[in-house]
Structure 1
Amino acid sequence: MNAREWLARGARIVADAGLAAVFAAALAFQAVQIARSWGGGYWRFDCAAGAAVCLIALLRRRGRARAAAAGLAVAAAAILIARSAHLPAEPGLAMAVALWVLVGSAVRTLPARQACAVAAGGLAVVAGSLLSASASSGVRGVVVLNGAGWLAAVAAGLGPRLLDARRRAVADRVRRDERLELARELHDVVAHHITGIVIQAQAAQLVARKRPERLEGSLAGIEAAGSEALAAMRRVVGLLRDTGDGAPATSGPERLSELVRRFEGHGRAVHLRLPEGEPAWPAEVTSTVYRVVQESLTNIARHARRARSVTVSVVQDGGAVTVEVADDAPQGPARHHRGGGYGLVGMRERLEALGGTLRAGPRPGAGWSVLATLPVPGKERR
């Protein structure tokens, strides 16, 4: 068991100890109140039933559905017995608190149907408590308190549950985006190299029949293309790795240089400015810098075909990295729609998740600029 598991286990023990103290205080308080108002030994039944449900609540982690069902069953039986035997109204304070714990825990963790069933059972117990309540305002107040406690328990369980559902939805969206990114990488990089190998292999067959002396050069070309395809495949596989399992697929400025070289192949000059040395950035910062430049260049290729030069600047200043990609294309109708694309939305979401910012818009005179700033964890501004 590692340190984190030990801390979690210790926290659970402390929480249960505190909960047991609350249960004990509630039992003692309820017993004193019943003894004062009812006299005799009427408090014994309330304490016995309340202690049973409290014990079930403390053992809830062994099976939350079974614990909730058992606690609700004991509470329902206590209500019926109190009604028929003319005993103090149930559930008492301690039992009510224990039921709140069981309902909140079930709503928080159980599958939807079971959680709804437990919540409905808790509401039924609150409604059933009216059967054993007398007409006194004090007892009616306890019933109102039970209802308010039930609402609070449901809310306390439902809130984290909805938050977890939202987190899962975000994680699913990220995984879907990563799969799409992987598909694009396979299509744009790996398929390109494999196609080149196939074409060169076909050419080698013709050379072998007509000019065997040139076959060695064709085979060397196939070998070089195969090596490039293998390197591309390793980068794609890197997209499937966790950051702790190896170097990220976008491992540093050298990948930016490669990205710029590919972009320059389309006929536009690119002026690249990178930090000196080897920046010690976390993997998420390195990947985000790469994706900002990649998406910006993609937008230029799609929407700024009249651009002749592009400037890519990556600067680290103290505890922040600033990325700016600017082109010199004349302003036109197509440029004004670039801000609503999903690429910029994805960039902004990625940056905001890391505490960064993104600005995109036309430059004075001509051209378009994308300016991203994101903090580098562990670095302080000077």
Structure 2
Amino acid sequence: MDIGQWRSGRGTTAADIGLGAAFAVALVFQAVALAVSWGGHYWLFDFTAGVVVCTIALVRRRHRVRATAAGLAVAAGTILVARVAELPAEPGPAMALGLSVLVGSALRTLSVPLAGVAAATGFAVVVLSNLATAPSSSGAVAALNGIGWVAALTVGLCLRLFDAGRKATIDRVRRDERLELAREMHDVVAHHITGIVLQAQATQILARRRPDNPENSLAGIERALAGIETAGSEALTAMRRVVGVLRDTDDAAPAMPGPEHLSELVARFDGHGPPVRLRLPERTSGWPPEVTTTVYRVVQESLTNVSRHAPHARSVEVSVAQDEQAVRVEVLDDAPPAPAASPLRGGYGLVGMRERVEALGGTLYAGPRPREGWSVTATLPVAVREPR
């Protein structure tokens, strides 16, 4: 489970618990009020109908269109039955709350045509409730449903705009990160191609030299051609990565430093945050440049998040390791658990890091540790090249 899934699941569970509690309070309140004012068992019809609509509202995420249609249909049927049977006016407070949740959820998540239909149908239910209210009634039930519909419309549209803005921001962060990575890899490809040109020129010079020159031997030409082949293979590999992530054609920007500069990064952080312990592998020279840059950026973003969101952390551990298939970078801190009201760590910086890591075929995890603190772990596949 990544940070996005963990955050979404935690928020959804808390919202459902709070919503269920609100439904229960509204159901009990309405049942008691009807039992006192009407007597007998008049409250049973309202209570049963309210339970049905509230249950539909709680399970709305399984199929929002069907849930919204079912909840509004039950409400319309309840209004008509209550009017014909001379029962208390419907919908009651609990059902009105459930309808508000269904309509608001539809406005937030469904396509524009379906959201419009849900809003119009919800308004029709409000009008039907007003028409079905007995003349002797105070009209409080119809007014309550009207208020609920307006609240659903307002909250649903506001959340829809918020979600659209957040999605646009995430898309921009991902696009910028892909562009940055592509720019860095553009420099890598240009470097390899320059090497190919220089070695090809050197081979031509060797071929034109006098036969009695020992450097103009077949072995010398073969060595030059082997170098050209190696540089060409590396350029082709980098170019394939560029094709997968390039989204713009602006001029290339300089590449970011790699793991060899992590010590400097940690030293700068030590002056503004908790002490950092850094562990590096014995050698990193065989990594592709895009991997070294990504390792640096993951550590940089993780330390930035510690300074912003975990100022009470006592220590931070940064470890970089490698084996034959992958490079693994891990950043751990021991910050005490944050209060429930505090914002969770992550944000758009980690969105960009995930985009960069996944563009290289790797994985990124960010989330809380079992007891305290936070962890960020990135795994990047890499075929380590032997130095020539």
Q: How does the TM-score come out when normalised to structure 1?
A: 0.54
1:80 equivalent in structure 2: 80
**For residues 276 and 5 of structure 1, do their structure 2 counterparts lie closer, same or farther at Cα, with a shift above 3 Å needed?**
closer
Cα distance in 2 between the residues matched to 1:110 and 1:84: 34
2:105 equivalent in structure 1: 105
Cα distance in 2 between the residues matched to 1:181 and 1:191: 16
Cα distance in 2 between the residues matched to 1:223 and 1:275: 43
2:47 equivalent in structure 1: 47
- How many residues are matched? 273
1:251 equivalent in structure 2: 258
Cα distance in 1 between the residues matched to 2:72 and 2:259: 59
The aligned amino acid for 1:283 is R
1:304 equivalent in structure 2: none
1:283 lines up with 2:297 in the alignment: yes
**For residues 91 and 282 of structure 1, do their structure 2 counterparts lie closer, same or farther at Cα, with a shift above 3 Å needed?**
farther
**For residues 200 and 12 of structure 1, do their structure 2 counterparts lie closer, same or farther at Cα, with a shift above 3 Å needed?**
closer
Q: Equivalences for 1:132-171 in 2 at 5 Å? A: 132-135=132-135, 138-139=138-139, 141-171=140-170
1:27 equivalent in structure 2: 27
Residues 130-184 of structure 1: per-residue CA shift (max 9 Å, x gap): 1112345732x33222222223233333334333322221222233333433443
The aligned amino acid for 2:62 is R
Cα distance in 1 between the residues matched to 2:9 and 2:183: 44
**For residues 197 and 287 of structure 1, do their structure 2 counterparts lie closer, same or farther at Cα, with a shift above 3 Å needed?**
farther
The aligned amino acid for 1:30 is Q
Cα distance in 1 between the residues matched to 2:146 and 2:100: 10
| SS of the residue 1:27 aligns to | helix
**For residues 211 and 115 of structure 1, do their structure 2 counterparts lie closer, same or farther at Cα, with a shift above 3 Å needed?**
farther
Measure how far apart 1:72 and its partner are: 0.7
| Residue 214 of structure 1, aligned match among 208, 216, 228 | 216
Cα distance in 2 between the residues matched to 1:255 and 1:26: 57
Cα distance in 2 between the residues matched to 1:256 and 1:234: 29
1:191 lines up with 2:190 in the alignment: yes
Aligned partners of 2:188 and 2:235 also within 8 Å: yes
Aligned partners of 1:60 and 1:68 also within 8 Å: yes
| SS of the residue 1:151 aligns to | helix
Aligned partners of 2:93 and 2:144 also within 8 Å: no
1:61 equivalent in structure 2: 61
The root-mean-square deviation of aligned C-alpha atoms, in Å, is 4.9
1:172 equivalent in structure 2: 171
2:131 equivalent in structure 1: 131
Measure how far apart 1:74 and its partner are: 0.5
Q: How does the TM-score come out when normalised to structure 2?
A: 0.54
| SS of the residue 1:91 aligns to | coil
Aligned partners of 2:89 and 2:141 also within 8 Å: no
Unaligned ranges ≥5, structure 1: 242-247, 258-273, 290-318, 320-351, 355-376
**For residues 178 and 226 of structure 1, do their structure 2 counterparts lie closer, same or farther at Cα, with a shift above 3 Å needed?**
farther
The aligned amino acid for 1:214 is N
Aligned partners of 1:68 and 1:103 also within 8 Å: yes
1:91 lines up with 2:91 in the alignment: yes
Aligned partners of 1:83 and 1:132 also within 8 Å: yes
The aligned amino acid for 1:84 is V
The aligned amino acid for 1:193 is H
**For residues 70 and 276 of structure 1, do their structure 2 counterparts lie closer, same or farther at Cα, with a shift above 3 Å needed?**
closer
Aligned partners of 1:54 and 1:95 also within 8 Å: yes
**For residues 194 and 210 of structure 1, do their structure 2 counterparts lie closer, same or farther at Cα, with a shift above 3 Å needed?**
same
Aligned partners of 1:239 and 1:249 also within 8 Å: no
Aligned partners of 1:250 and 1:287 also within 8 Å: no
Aligned partners of 2:182 and 2:242 also within 8 Å: no
Residues 40-61 of structure 1: per-residue CA shift (max 9 Å, x gap): 5433332232222122223323
The aligned amino acid for 2:173 is V
